[in-house]
Amino acid sequence: MTQAALIGLLLPAVHVLIVLVAAVLISTNRKPSSAIAWILAVIFIPVLGILFFLLVGFGKLPRRRRDKQREVCEAILARTDGLDLVSHRDEWPPWLGSMVTMNRKLGSLPMVGGNSAELIESYSGSIRAMADAIDTAEHFVHVEFFILVADDATEPLFAALERACARGVEVRALSDYVAQFMYPDRKKTIKRFEAMGAHYLPMLPLQPFRGHWRRPDLRNHRKLVVVDGVVGFTGSQNMITDHYHKKKGIKKGLHWHELMVRLTGPTVRELDAVFVTDWYSESNELLPLDTSPVRLGADRELVDAQILPSGPSFDNDPEARA
pLDDT tens string 107-129 = 778 888 889 999 999 999 999 99
Question: Percentage of the chain with pLDDT > 70?
Answer: 69
Res. 94: pLDDT tops 80: yes
Q: Which of 284, 260, 137 is nearest to 201 (CA)?
A: 284
Q: How confident is the model at residue 321 (pLDDT cuts 50, 70, 90)?
A: very low
- Rounded mean pLDDT, 132-137: 98
Q: Which of 35-44, 104-113, 134-143 has the lowest mean pLDDT?
A: 35-44
Residue 73 buriedness (CB in 10 A; 0-12 / 13-18 / 19+): buried
286's CB contacts (< 8 A; 6+ apart) are 71, 72, 75, 276, 280
pLDDT at 23 over 60: no
Q: Where are the domains of the chain?
A: 3-56, 63-321
Angle at 164 between CA 192 and CA 152, to 5 degrees: 45
Q: How many CA atoms lie within 13 A of 171 on its CB side?
A: 25
The CA–CA distances, whole Å, from 233 to 59, 128, 245, 272 equal 29, 12, 24, 10
Q: Is the pLDDT of residue 16 over 70?
A: no
Given a cut of 60, whether residue 300 has pLDDT beyond it is yes
What CATH code would you report for 63-321? 3.30.870.10
Over 90: is that where the pLDDT of 83 sits? no
**Least reliable range by pLDDT among 1-15, 228-242, 257-271, 280-294:** 1-15
CA dihedral 85, 90, 95, 98 (to 10 degrees): 20
Residue 252 reports pLDDT greater than 80? yes
What does the mean pLDDT of the chain come to?
81
Spatial distance between the Cα atoms of 78 and 291, rounded to a whole number of angstroms: 10
Worst-scoring range by mean pLDDT, 9-13, 53-57, 250-254?
53-57
pLDDT band at 308 (very low <50, low <70, confident <90, very high): confident
Alpha-carbon span 313 to 224, nearest angstrom: 18
Average confidence (pLDDT) over 37-56: 60
Predicted pLDDT at 21: 53
pTM of the full predicted structure?
A: 0.79
pLDDT confidence of residue 152 = 96
Helix axes 267-283, 63-79, angle to 10 degrees: 150
The helix (run of H) or strand (run of E) holding residue 196 is: helix 186-196
218 and 314 Cβ atoms separated by less than 8 Å: no
How many CB atoms are closer than 10 A to CB 70? 15
Residue 260 has what pLDDT? 98
User: Is 227 or 78 the better-scoring residue by pLDDT?
Assistant: 227
66's enclosing H/E stretch is: helix 63-79
The candidate with the shortest Cα–Cα distance to 144, out of 299, 271, 303, 318, is 271
Inter-residue contact 166 to 134 (CB < 8 Å): no
Q: Which long-range contacts (CB under 8 A, 24 or more apart) does 162-170 make?
A: 162/196, 163/134, 163/135, 164/134, 164/135, 164/137, 165/196, 165/197, 165/198, 166/196, 167/137, 167/138, 169/137, 169/138, 169/139, 169/140, 169/141, 170/139, 170/140, 170/141, 170/199
pLDDT score of 104: 80
pLDDT for res 42: 61
**Least-confidence region, from 82-91, 165-174, 232-241:** 82-91
Higher pLDDT, 49 or 99: 99
pLDDT classification of 318: cutoffs 50, 70, 90: very low
Write the pLDDT tens digit of every residue in 264-297: 998 998 899 899 989 998 898 989 888 777 776 6
Q: Please give the average per-residue pLDDT across 231-244, as a whole number.
A: 96
What is the 8-class DSSP label of residue 111? P
> Where residue 193 falls among pLDDT bands split at 50, 70, 90?
very high
